[in-house]
A and B are shown apart, each in its own frame.
Chain A
């Protein structure tokens, strides 16, 4: 029971930190609006300019960061549990690249649509990419080993990335629209696109939390899960749908942000152990915290430059990836 209380306190503390940092983030930006101004603007009492800046620029950005972080981290945790593979994550396995490619392709082939429409393209792209990578990696002996998964994910990402950039070279206007988005950026997200994806992300996270017991069973491995009486195929499929929904919506909103889905589950596991009933909620909160921190610390430290959060995450996440590859993988050769 002590462990339970401790974890609950931890979860609440993290949530509190997310709230505090979000409020702090509302005060960061090129126009000088203090905490009082933010409160005034949110309650509708402040002047017109403050209201506009806070509600149309800063609030959407923060909500996008929270949603993207939470959904990518939960998606990564589920993937790691289901594939029993410490390197599984939406970015590494080409899911983000697939969704990004589908969105760019739809922008070129059809007229510009609101986010509510192209989130569906992102779903289709994410699902196809996940399917291809997993098929390629799990064929043959040994199933989906970390090496084969990572290689096929990289290959698919490189391929789709190249096709995407060759489309973009051809089409300058679309390039301008998606250049920032395609490296994973939270800047300039309109409120409408945040609102458009939030139902899917909300549904995905609720589903993930509701099924966390089944995810925990899956994480014990196929034999154990089957002997406990779990319908593995059914739950794997469910988990796949949830992952595609979460990662697809996050990409449709903020572009392919890598490494969140890889790093956060590992940090959480290091902190609280291997029980996925706790890992999933912790991942949701910690993912939101990490992304909003990464985005806003840089915005605070280097106000003149807008560094895409995807780049920041890669710089934080890649060393951890190397660490994992060194100490967790390859002992078995």
Chain B
């Protein structure tokens, strides 16, 4: 555990420094250190680029990755399905649709309001998926299929709004929707960080409940867990976390799927270890994806969401292939 965390932190640090350095205008390390230590002699341009553009962007990417990973870890355990992910289940599309409605129709882009809309959308979506798939118990198969269906409906709704809305607003929204930390600013970082503190703490506090839920429902119950309440609270936490992540960076897929799997390989299934490690993995992945996306075809910028999909989809296919002898 300690070694894994150390390795991940070193990895994150390395990519973080690289994302401060690389870009249209590379900035040498000496200047970065100068800017960060508040050296008054540092070049103004370097100060502006590092402090106002690259630093908030890197921190936002890190936070979004952590949020998506934790949300994925929760939903995989609650649904007891290793293929579940807030993006795949349409929870994120619900959040995105609500945020899009707020931005396009109410012309409100305030960093404080959008997370609420996204949270509301994600919550309604999660409730709808759970409600529609409930027929004397919610079978995981139905949850996934209904999630895919409702998700594509929310996606179509988003296209509908894009077709109607004013083109300038829509264009702005589209960049955000594609899953990008492109217009990161300190206000977004601040809001996301504040939003995430409480759910993260609660998730860590609930790690024992998560452990219990990952057993069969019967054993959880016989060990004294009130399964329905625990499940509902955890789904609420998950929608809060992924709503905030969607509000900050749009639809970045597959992080919630991959990170918990990687974390489980490293530190096993126990949630009080797995969740924090998954968060680190998620942060590392989004940070890396954003760095790749904005440098590999510069000056064109690939949204991080596209990079994660290109890398994540094959991973998902691999999981599907590996689990081919498992009866669902």
Residues of A within 8 A of B (CB): 87, 136-137, 139-142, 145-148, 150-152, 154-156, 158-159, 161-163, 165-166, 169-170, 183, 258, 305-308, 311, 314-315, 318-319, 321-322, 325-326, 329-330, 333
Contact = CB atoms under 8 A, between A and B. Distances in A.
Given A158-B313, A314-B152, A326-B135, A305 B145 contact: no
A330 B145 contact: yes
B146 interface: yes
Given A146-B145, A162-B309, A155 B316 contact: yes
Given A305-B164, A330-B141, A325 B149 contact: yes
Interface of B: 83, 88, 132-133, 135, 139, 141-142, 144-146, 148-150, 152-153, 155-157, 159-160, 163-164, 178, 253, 297, 300-302, 305-307, 309-310, 313-314, 316-317, 320-321, 323-328
Given A326-B142, A330-B142, A151 B320 contact: yes
A329 B145 contact: yes
A315 B160 contact: yes
B149 A155 contact: no
B152 A158 contact: no
Nearest to B296: A166
The 6 tightest CB contacts between A and B, nearest first, are A140-B324, A314-B156, A159-B313, A318-B153, A162-B309, A325-B145
B317 A141 contact: no
Contact of B145 (A137, A139, A150, A163): A150
Nearest to B88: A154
15 contacts: A136-B317, A137-B320, A139-B324, A148-B320, A154-B148, A166-B302, A169-B297, A169-B302, A305-B163, A306-B163, A314-B159, A321-B148, A322-B146, A325-B142, A330-B141
A319 B153 contact: yes
Nearest to A163: B310
Contacts of A166: 297, 302, 306-307, 310
B212 to A, nearest CB: 22
Nearest to B179: A162
A136 B321 contact: yes
Q: Which of B159, B178, B326 has the most CB of A within 10 A?
A: B159
B141 A329 contact: yes
Contacts of B327: 141-142
